[in-house]
Structure 1
């Protein structure tokens, strides 16, 4: 780890010098959130920051997303290319904070920390630009910074990949804030970190009529009630109970008046699984149950599986590099090994089908205090986490570039 030891004091000193600026950048992004597939001003702002630092950046198609390459010091000619990804989109949630940097856009809020992710990765890019002026006699790294739109709608990773974001990339790094972890800690997971996710849409078409004469109708609400009940009843009994899965309905919409049976009902839900086998089994069972209730109710049912996301499966070597980098920043006490995967989804997996990579959970809760959960209207972080995240990512890139043998955990931390 000799190369890292040479870089550590430079990284720590320079990132500390950048910290106030990074907090200012984060607050600007937080105050000006944009929803998925509309992050044009955010992308433009990041391009300006990168260009002002002397880096060459590419604004992606339709002004959505940014790709920038840089070198950290003077890497070897055959050094691997390490990508570092951030997401940009906000949520359609009303910000309830009263801080000076609360959202200025009604009905929009950075409640999932994507403003923080973008700032952390931008901090790494700004340091890379500054590193060209150092007289450090140590190998560096080749870096690519990806600022991705539309993570919340699961479109963004594919959007960047189609535009060459991972062409020539050897490994990719990601980071996600975790308000359930204290500042100064990180969550490391070897193997599966998040679940496969499939959004489900079911449109039920019946025959409407007066609620006093249901025999003249084909009631889609009755069919929807039967269908949801059947899905909840039979899906858990369709797979091995030791194989984690969860099916949830989040939306049922139909009808306008209490005395009118409508002719259409919409059901939206999600299926989350950890294994491909369980995923395919349950998708087949959903099709079978929908068909059965359709026949029973004599309605028409149209089933679609939308925006599929694969599980994030952290690569062992990249994860080991993240762990070593985190230990060098936070010490042994700051490392928390995640023993169970999350049933949430993350489209970072869209890169992992092409290149090995890993995602880190970054603690952002003030020590001794609980922070609002992700997607909460008052979501906020301890901003000291920004510099921590930047330091970890820079160290990880150097480790991946310059260390051939890395200690990889197995056993309890691998599915």
Structure 2
């Protein structure tokens, strides 16, 4: 089988995708009904394994704390192309009324990972059927990853050898991953070179003062006033310390302090998130956030204790992989439209950990059309558009078949 799929092969792929789509849609809706949050995806992982076993696809289990799975499809080359999907849900109460809505209170697939999982399983089945007909140009490895939603499952998958040579297949030389994106037209595949998703860190600042009766504030040291000054001062980090052509976000999202209207409390706790698109901006914001909190608190005779938690790094597409992705979409996917993203997304994505190890391209899958109405990601009325499933399967199959490993950057 050639690395550049012929029209005959492309037609065969379209036929197989059409045949596999009903099964993938049914599976997506089944998964939607029992969402599981990070590192608790036991039923989801078991269902993935069942599908792989029924399809005769070799796989290995128990990665990333137990719920990660990798699967293998053989091919002729000495290295593999990787395809990754995340499998976890979110701790959100679903408000949809569809027949397949979540049956677990306080849990839902509000980010479309049920769709991602169904797409990757569909692609695995198509590629397995093709490999039974003739040898694939190179091996393909499928990564079903838990805990994308804050659990850094990608980091643990990498640590557990998800990309390394395995008894069932060679090492992965390049990896692709997708995310559905409301607002992007159905049939569109969008990405860009370089930074695609921001780093995602969080902070907690405890402002310590001295309690006093609200009628005699001079007897205390008011942490509410100090905390308010910190919240305002943090905004100057973006406005006055970051180059306007760079991007960064500092958002204070929770403030907790006080229990009575006539008492000044002894402490206030601030929490929030920090986002950046470069390592230099990320490091600067981490350093300056702690300095600003300390100095503002001292100005009000209080003390600030800051805890800073490094989360996901910047997700970066390497140039060669992005060029290869665009070539494949334009040459081998006539039903899809390539869209170049002018700007990155300030959300976080733990696909970044794969991209730190090997050449990688992450892309957005369009799901918006005139028939499908849904909220955006992480909303209680979000639902995946099943019309995107065959498009997602077809894209992943062709990425696996047509990637020839050459650098065109």
TM-score, normalising length from structure 2? 0.91
Provide the rounded CA distance (Å) in 1 between the counterparts of 2:310 and 2:151. 6
Q: 2:13: which partner in 1? A: 11
Number of aligned residue pairs? 400
Q: 2:261: which partner in 1? A: 258
> What's the CA shift for 1:234?
4.3
Provide the rounded CA distance (Å) in 2 between the counterparts of 1:307 and 1:48. 36
Provide the rounded CA distance (Å) in 2 between the counterparts of 1:132 and 1:158. 30
1:368–1:100 distance in 2 versus 1, CA, 3 Å: closer
Matches within 5 A, 1:4-403: 4-5=5-6, 6-61=8-63, 62-71=65-74, 75-78=75-78, 80-134=79-133, 136=134, 139-167=136-164, 168-328=171-331, 330-331=333-334, 334-367=337-370, 371-400=374-403, 402=404
Q: 1:411: which partner in 2? A: none
Greater CA drift, 286-295 or 171-180:
286-295
Helix, strand or coil: the match of 1:26?
helix
Greater CA drift, 371-380 or 11-20:
371-380
Question: Contact between 1:95 and 1:107, CA under 8 Å: does it hold in 2?
Answer: yes
1:36–1:209 distance in 2 versus 1, CA, 3 Å: farther
1:216–1:41 distance in 2 versus 1, CA, 3 Å: farther
Helix, strand or coil: the match of 1:60?
strand
Deviations 1:123-181 (A, max 9, x none): 111223222321x4x64321111111111105111111111111122111100001111
Question: Contact between 2:189 and 2:339, CA under 8 Å: does it hold in 1?
Answer: yes
> What's the CA shift for 1:191?
2.0
1:266–1:59 distance in 2 versus 1, CA, 3 Å: farther
Question: Contact between 1:373 and 1:379, CA under 8 Å: does it hold in 2?
Answer: yes
> What's the CA shift for 1:112?
0.8
1:332–1:106 distance in 2 versus 1, CA, 3 Å: closer
Question: Contact between 2:130 and 2:136, CA under 8 Å: does it hold in 1?
Answer: no
Question: Contact between 2:3 and 2:402, CA under 8 Å: does it hold in 1?
Answer: no
1:336–1:261 distance in 2 versus 1, CA, 3 Å: same
Question: Contact between 2:321 and 2:407, CA under 8 Å: does it hold in 1?
Answer: no
Provide the rounded CA distance (Å) in 2 between the counterparts of 1:39 and 1:218. 47
1:303–1:405 distance in 2 versus 1, CA, 3 Å: closer
Provide the rounded CA distance (Å) in 2 between the counterparts of 1:92 and 1:82. 33
Q: 1:413: which partner in 2? A: none
> What's the CA shift for 1:405?
5.8
Question: Contact between 1:180 and 1:370, CA under 8 Å: does it hold in 2?
Answer: no
1:262–1:59 distance in 2 versus 1, CA, 3 Å: farther
Provide the rounded CA distance (Å) in 1 between the counterparts of 2:192 and 2:293. 37
RMSD between aligned alpha carbons? 2.1
Provide the rounded CA distance (Å) in 2 between the counterparts of 1:211 and 1:58. 62
> What's the CA shift for 1:18?
0.6
> What's the CA shift for 1:10?
2.2
Q: 2:168: which partner in 1? A: none
1:284–1:18 distance in 2 versus 1, CA, 3 Å: same
> What's the CA shift for 1:50?
0.9
Question: Contact between 2:148 and 2:154, CA under 8 Å: does it hold in 1?
Answer: yes
Provide the rounded CA distance (Å) in 2 between the counterparts of 1:2 and 1:186. 21
Helix, strand or coil: the match of 2:306?
strand
Provide the rounded CA distance (Å) in 1 between the counterparts of 2:13 and 2:335. 20
Helix, strand or coil: the match of 1:363?
strand
Helix, strand or coil: the match of 2:21?
helix
Question: Contact between 1:155 and 1:307, CA under 8 Å: does it hold in 2?
Answer: no
Deviations 1:331-365 (A, max 9, x none): 38722211111122111111111111011110011
Question: Contact between 2:3 and 2:401, CA under 8 Å: does it hold in 1?
Answer: no
Deviations 1:298-355 (A, max 9, x none): 3332212214222111122222232233335653872221111112211111111111
